[in-house]
Amino acid sequence: MNSWWIYGIGFLAQILFSARLFIQWIASERAKRVLSPVIFWQLSMVASFLLCLYGWLRNDFAIIVGQFISYYIYIWNLKTQQVWNKLISPLRFVFMFMPIIAIAWFLWDWRDIRVHLFAQENIPMWLIIFGIGGQFTFTLRFIYQWWYSRKVGESLLPLNFWLISLLGSSMIVIYAIIRHDPVLVVGQSTGMIIYARNIYLSLKPG
């Protein structure tokens, strides 16, 4: 596939990720508190699928593993906000089982996939590990968000969600600079500004 098409898929995913953040940011600024709007999770699902495809085309396991982990947390938040069941059944089925089918395919053809994702002479193993660490840290925010929201009984974006986001995003930017990946650099750099602003809103009294 032409590299411009690959970058196009990646930038489209990052545009959707950035759009969800800007929508959340604007809604939170108006309310003077951090909100968790439905469209934030809807855009997250679509962008996650596209970024996972981009990671595969870029031979980047770090991107893929990060998206797999957070995908079902997006669905859980949509269920919590009573939006998931409003989707037509075939669409829910596709969204629900697509990652499971992908993982089954990975395991079935693991030998060739291992070479595709890991056996690359121009990318040292330490960098792959660092990238996976950055993606895991970045994804940990959604694991924390899921745990916190389950505890309080509603879909929220608490302070620690944004603190973990800022840390994970910083690691991914470093990884992306070393890998010469403009999609990740632009996408994560934009998000860092909004993470910092949400931290301020979370700490602001009243």
Task: Give the pLDDT confidence score for residue 95 in this predicted structure.
Answer: 81
Q: What is the pLDDT of residues 127-164, one digit of tens each?
A: 888 988 888 898 899 999 999 999 999 999 999 999 99
pLDDT at 204 over 90: no
Q: What is the pLDDT of residues 26-51, one digit of tens each?
A: 999 999 888 889 999 999 988 988 88
pLDDT band of 106, cuts 50, 70, 90: low
Alpha-carbon Rg for the chain, nearest whole angstrom, is 17
According to the 3-state scheme, what is the secondary structure of 41-75?
HHHHHHHHHHHHHHHHHCCCHHHHHHHHHHHHHHH
Domain carrying residue 125: 3-203
Distance CA 114, CA 138 (A): 23
Residues 6+ apart with CB under 8 A from 3: none
pLDDT at 67 over 90: no
Please state the domain count of the chain: 1
Check: CB of residue 45 under 8 Å from CB of residue 19.
no
pLDDT at 101 over 90: no
